Amino acid sequence: MMDDGVFNAAWSALKPGGRLVANAVSLETEARLAGYFRQFGGDLIRLQVTRADRVGRHVWLAAGDAGHRSGE
């Protein structure tokens, strides 16, 4: 979803009551999705625990293990 053209084509084809699902694996893509959310509304839900890792010039969000806290 790093290309506005992809989003615009998907958004234009979306029928009333339809759902657009996107996957963000970098902070840059997540920021772009947040911008679409601010502009168009709807729901923006993140469903995975992630850890940021640098890969070249990008920061990727890598899946992490579930954490547990105890003894508080």
7-39 pLDDT per residue, tens: 899 999 999 989 988 888 788 888 999 999 999
Q: What is the DSSP letter of 26?
A: B
What pLDDT is recorded for position 70? Answer: 39
CA distance 21 to 27: 17
CA distance 1 to 4: 7
Question: What digits encode the pLDDT tens for the residues 36-72?
Answer: 999 999 888 877 677 888 889 999 888 765 544 434 3
Asked if residue 58 lies in contact with residue 26, where contact means CB atoms within 8 angstroms, the answer is: yes
